[in-house]
Amino acid sequence: MNTTSSFPVARYRFEFEVRQPIRLPDYAGSMLRGAFGHALRQLACMTRQKDCAACPLIASCPYPAVFAPPPPTSHRLQQFSQLPVPYVIEPPAWGSRVLAEGETLIFHQVLIGKALQELPLIILAWRRAFARGVGAGDGTADLRRVIHCGDAGEHEIHRPEIGTIATHAQTVVLKGTDDSATPGAAVLHFETPLRLQHNGRALPPDKLQARTLLMALTRRASLLAEFHADGPLASDFTKLSTAAALIREEKRLTWLDWTRFSSRQKQKMSLGGVIGTWRLEGPLAPFAPFLQLGEWLHVGKEASFGLGQYQLARDRHEDTSDSLDKPRDCQRQVSETQELNL
């Protein structure tokens, strides 16, 4: 772990009022990501080239920086076909339904590192996406407000009729790796399917190990910090892997299957994963900041549209309301505004 004591990340709640009925599938994360990416590209792209890789403005355009960051030609850990994106979309609760005119659609988006600088453009992209239409039937909606959900509580930071964005915290203070300050047990309550893969296949509950989970959390947070913030959070992965092997576990996980239609591949894709409770016990100190960040960053495949989401508690007998970090347990507070017109 490096000496970084904070991490640039923030969670935002978007509230839309439905104008024309919106059909939500069982899990709306993929649908929302597609609508967001399309609208962001329309707003940001100046050359209208089909392929970002050949665009002369790729280094300065906010679209690839946020939605499709180009991988480096070489890296000390591995070769990348794609990089982790600096956002996570957290869709509404599981279950297909139709939102009628006048109802409220609520979802969250987590922004990481340099993507935080693009918040005005990102808000505008969501407005554009819902004005054009999303989902089957192209349902439409109007943005009513954006809420920042952080450790200090809940802050309304934007309303379209005002046009400014309120100042707010965009970093999380990381927990230390001091043995005396770190609980010896932690419980992860997975709310959306976790897909940790081996040889291209998601592992079922009986094949999952604490080491696999902890190293996936460590790699994800470190890579996001390296490519989108101030540098990697971890350097000695061999040492961390050895430490992870000492962690004991108790799993109450079940498999949840679901499918989505890929517009890019023109076919249905099965994206099942595990949900439930996973208790870890042992020398967790080296992984304390990564377990904390996982509540914001998610973990596993398809984290960008909300999979691998969990809430963290100190012990299995505690309720999730007593979690180590409560990024969405917000109370309303007043904040100042800065002049960032949309």
pLDDT at 182: 62
Residue 201 or 20, more confident: 20
CA distance 21 to 101: 6
3-class secondary structure, 181: helix
Residue 266 lies inside a defined structural domain of this protein: yes
Residue 283 to residue 17: CA distance in whole angstroms: 47
- What pLDDT score was predicted for residue 258? 81
Structure tokens belonging to residue 37: 């990416």
Q: Which pLDDT score is estimated for 13?
A: 98
Confidence of residue 233 (pLDDT cuts 50, 70, 90): confident
Q: What is the predicted pLDDT for the residue at 265?
A: 59
Q: What is the pLDDT of residues 245-265, one digit of tens each?
A: 999 999 999 999 887 666 655
Judge if 193 and 141 occupy the same domain.
Answer: no
**Looking at the 3D structure of the chain, how many domains does it have?**
2
Q: How far apart are CA 135 and CA 311, in angstroms?
A: 28
pLDDT tens string 264-304: 556 676 788 999 999 999 999 999 999 999 999 999 999 99
Alpha-carbon gap, residue 156 to 168, rounded angstroms:
10
> Average pLDDT in the 114-126 region?
98
Query: Residue 327 pLDDT more than 60?
Result: no
Over residues 97-124, the mean pLDDT reads 98
Taking residues 204-218, report their average pLDDT.
96
Domain boundary among 173, 201, 221: 173
| pLDDT, mean of residues 159-173 | 95
227 plus 285 within the same structural domain: yes
pLDDT at 181: 57
For 170-197, b where at least 16 C-beta lie within 10 A, e where not — what string? bebebbeeeeeebbebbbbbbbbbbbbe
Rg for the chain, CA atoms, rounded: 20
Co-location of 164 and 212 in the same domain? no
Among 37-46, 132-141, 213-222, 319-328, whose mean pLDDT is lowest?
319-328
Residue 286 backbone phi and psi in degrees, to 5? -65, -20
Average pLDDT over residues 82-99: 94
Q: Are residues 165 and 304 in the same domain?
A: no
Do residue 67 and residue 206 come from a single domain? no
Cα 174 to Cα 296: distance, rounded to the nearest angstrom: 12
In a domain, 326, yes or no: no
Q: Give the range of the structural domain holding residue 232, as residue numbers without chain letter.
A: 185-312
For the chain, the average pLDDT equals 87
Q: Do 77 and 111 fall within a single domain?
A: yes
Residue 73: pLDDT over 80: no
The pLDDT, as a whole number, for residue 152 is 80
Same domain, 134 and 83: yes
What pLDDT sits at residue 334? 30
pLDDT of residue 96: 93
Q: Are residues 40 and 164 in the same domain?
A: yes
User: pTM value?
Assistant: 0.88
User: Alpha helix locations (H) across 45-118?
Assistant: 62-67
What is the reported pLDDT for 197?
92
Q: How confident is the model at residue 70 (pLDDT cuts 50, 70, 90)?
A: confident
